[in-house]
């Protein structure tokens, strides 16, 4: 490939024969990034959290760079990291009902790499606190984040799904109670759920869990850093934090609404004793004794320092201001949905999510999503599940506020275009195939055939540097952005088949480039 470089046809190889100048390399990364969805500007309603605060990115990047090579493996070797980590945990604790008040619980916590790691560790701590239970189980609402299922899978804990009311989108305390058995080690609830932005009845659920002697984890990964500010702004936020007696642990992601760069979440426990089984220690080898509070052992100080800098720069007044802007943006977007014929809010917004569905069979939500994309609005389609219809999810951040006025007309326009285009018609036989195919019957050949039938063949067969990041001609997101046809196919398939199909597709995408 060095020949390619010599010919000026560099393929973007990660390890060229001869190293390239810094400027050139940065230019390459920038070129690859050009095909990504826009992380800033308030037009991407998932994946990113943008406060649109001038200078904040630069500050966080500088703090990140200064600690990137510091290793969280040993807090005694790098006290700077320990100090910043303790300060972050303290800030999260104080915000969520811990702190130094006389009646405040003795909350402790750890900084993890993200919400998923926090949830896995909450499940691990609950599991390992009950060595008497041979086959532990967790009771989790069906609307709770998929990371609980991942935790159950990784930790070999059985998952008991708790049904939610199809109208309120919340589990009842009675349904939680019914799911608790002698082997239940943890009950979970969300504040709020990611998909719909609905806050579960935490106080009632925690009471049921406490009555059964079971831990109760509140997944506030998404909302833990917004609900307290919204409450201070006068919004009716129900009790969801350590002020609720039965709540034993809470997760809150700083890389979401604390607006820190990615790689930081906080897992809090009501007491040190509740946290103890989260830790892992091992001295049975000739090297250093490994003591890990979290899953990773070597950990970069970068994300922790960046989060620390972000929190200190924004301060309480900054977060309050950003929460107010976000609340107003949510109200404006929800109004736009209410004004659009054929759309209905799936839940009245009570946090920072706007989620809507279609009430008109001629208005296909997945087509609408594509029409919005064509107009520069990147929304997140959600497939139907059980008795819950397909929906469109908008994670709203402060950066959306100045854009709200543009959204309404574009939404109306996109809805009209989607109606004119009509619902997706899958290639003949594909709907029936999707509905009847079992995951086991999915061979790589069949997946390749499906990919080809859906027009994904070229993109997945040869992503190349352009499709990996610079495929402008195939739209934002590169060469494999699932479109309405793919979503319609997935929607027709049962969840187990969706999983298999997407695993196969992602497996096709994740191929080394040489
Ligand atoms: C409620 C909730 N829990 C957990 C997670 C998982 O977080 P992460 O993607 O940081 O692992 C998310 C992510 O959106 C979430 O919204």
Pairing of strands 215-219, 184-190: parallel
Question: Among 260, 247, 227, 278, which residue's Cα sits nearest to residue 113?
Answer: 260
Specify the residue with its C-alpha closest to ligand 1, atom 7. 115
Specify the residue with its C-alpha closest to ligand 1, atom 5. 115
Pocket flag, ligand 1, residue 115 (CB < 6 Å): yes
Cα(116) to centroid(ligand 1), Å? 6
Pocket flag, ligand 1, residue 200 (CB < 6 Å): no
Specify the residue with its C-alpha closest to ligand 1, atom 9. 115
Helix axes 404-421, 365-374, angle to 10 degrees: 130
Question: Among 38, 52, 36, 37, which residue's Cα sits nearest to residue 397?
Answer: 52
Peptide bond into 192 cis (omega under 30): yes
Nearest atom, ligand 1, residue 262 CA: 10
- One digit per residue, pLDDT tens: the chain, 514 residues? 344 454 556 678 999 999 999 999 999 999 999 999 999 999 999 999 999 999 999 999 999 999 999 999 999 999 999 999 999 999 999 999 999 888 899 999 999 999 999 999 999 999 999 999 999 999 999 999 999 999 999 999 999 999 999 999 999 999 999 999 999 999 999 999 999 999 999 999 999 999 999 999 999 999 999 999 999 999 999 999 999 999 999 999 999 999 999 999 999 999 999 999 999 999 999 999 999 999 999 999 999 999 999 999 999 999 999 999 999 999 999 999 999 999 999 999 999 999 999 999 999 999 999 999 999 999 999 999 999 999 999 999 999 999 999 999 999 999 999 999 999 998 778 888 888 888 888 887 887 777 777 666 554 444 333 333 333 333 333 445 679 998 999 999 999 999 988 888 888 889 999 9
**Cα–Cα distance measured from residue 96 to residue 218, given in angstroms and rounded to the nearest whole number:** 11
Burial (CB < 10 A; 0-12, 13-18, 19+), residue 290, is: middle
Residues 6 or more apart in contact with residue 442 via CB below 8 angstroms:
497, 500, 501, 504
The residue behind tokens 């990996």 is: 468
Specify the residue with its C-alpha closest to ligand 1, atom 6. 115
Residues 6 or more apart in contact with residue 131 via CB below 8 angstroms:
none
Residues 6 or more apart in contact with residue 443 via CB below 8 angstroms:
none
**Cα–Cα distance measured from residue 57 to residue 349, given in angstroms and rounded to the nearest whole number:** 29
Pocket flag, ligand 1, residue 253 (CB < 6 Å): yes
Pairing of strands 280-282, 391-395: unpaired
Pocket flag, ligand 1, residue 190 (CB < 6 Å): yes
Ligand 1 pocket mutation, candidates 48, 152, 196, 221, criterion most atoms within 8 A of CB: 221
Task: Name the token pair of 2.
Answer: 């060095």
Pocket flag, ligand 1, residue 197 (CB < 6 Å): no
- Residue 71 forms beta bridges with which residues? 300
Pairing of strands 380-382, 280-282: unpaired
Nearest atom, ligand 1, residue 144 CA: 1
- Residue 280 forms beta bridges with which residues? 292
Contact 211, 244 (CB under 8 A): no
Maximal CA-CA distance, the chain: 72
Ligand 1 pocket mutation, candidates 194, 198, 259, criterion most atoms within 8 A of CB: 194
Predicted local confidence at residue 8, as pLDDT: 57
């Amino acid at each position: 490939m060095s020949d390619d470089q010599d010919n000026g046809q560099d393929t973007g190889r990660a390890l060229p024969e001869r190293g390239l100048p810094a400027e050139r390399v940065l230019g390459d990364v920038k070129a690859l990034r050009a095909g990504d969805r826009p992380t800033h500007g308030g037009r991407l309603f998932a994946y990113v959290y943008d406060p649109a605060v001038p200078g904040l990115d630069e500050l966080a990047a500088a703090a990140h760079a200064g600690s990137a090579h510091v290793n969280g493996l040993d807090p005694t070797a790098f006290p700077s990291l320990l100090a910043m980590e303790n300060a972050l945990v303290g800030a999260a604790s104080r915000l969520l009902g811990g702190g130094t008040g006389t009646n405040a619980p003795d909350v402790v916590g750890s900084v993890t790499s993200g919400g998923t790691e926090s949830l896995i560790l909450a499940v691990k701590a609950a599991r390992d606190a009950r060595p008497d239970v041979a086959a532990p189980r967790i009771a989790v609402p069906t609307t709770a984040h998929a990371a609980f299922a991942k935790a159950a899978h990784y930790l070999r804990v059985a998952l008991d799904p708790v049904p939610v009311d199809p109208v309120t989108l919340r589990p009842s305390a009675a349904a939680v109670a019914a799911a608790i058995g002698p082997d239940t080690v943890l009950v979970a609830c969300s504040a709020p759920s990611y998909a719909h932005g609905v806050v579960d009845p935490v106080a009632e659920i925690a009471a049921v869990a406490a009555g059964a002697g079971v831990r109760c984890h509140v997944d506030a990964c998404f909302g833990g850093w917004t609900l307290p500010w919204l409450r201070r702004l006068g919004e009716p936020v129900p009790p969801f934090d350590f002020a609720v007696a039965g709540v034993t642990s809470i997760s809150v992601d700083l890389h979401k609404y604390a607006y820190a760069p990615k790689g930081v979440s906080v897992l809090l426990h009501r007491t040190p004793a509740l946290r103890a089984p989260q830790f892992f220690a091992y001295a049975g080898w000739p090297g250093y004794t490994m003591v890990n509070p979290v899953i990773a052992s070597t950990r970069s100080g970068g994300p922790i320092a960046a989060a620390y800098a972000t929190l200190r720069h924004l301060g309480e007044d900054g977060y309050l201001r950003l929460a107010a802007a976000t609340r107003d943006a949510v109200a404006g977007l929800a109004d736009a949905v209410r004004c659009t014929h054929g759309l209905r809010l799936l839940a009245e917004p009570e946090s920072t999510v706007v989620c809507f569905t279609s009430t008109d069979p001629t208005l296909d939500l997945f087509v609408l999503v594509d029409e919005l994309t064509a107009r520069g609005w990147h929304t997140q389609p959600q497939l139907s599940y059980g008795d819950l219809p397909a929906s469109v999810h908008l994670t709203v951040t402060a950066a959306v506020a100045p854009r709200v006025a543009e959204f309404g007309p574009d939404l109306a326009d996109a809805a009209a275009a989607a109606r004119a285009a009509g619902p997706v018609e899958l290639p003949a036989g594909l709907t029936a195939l999707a509905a009847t195919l079992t995951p086991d019957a999915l061979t790589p050949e069949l997946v390749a055939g499906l990919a080809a039938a859906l027009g994904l063949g070229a993109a997945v067969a040869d992503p190349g540097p352009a499709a990996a990041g610079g495929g402008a001609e195939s739209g934002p997101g590169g060469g494999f952005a699932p479109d309405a046809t793919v979503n319609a196919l997935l929607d027709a398939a049962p969840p187990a088949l969706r999983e298999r199909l997407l695993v196969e597709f992602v497996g096709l995408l994740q191929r080394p480039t040489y």
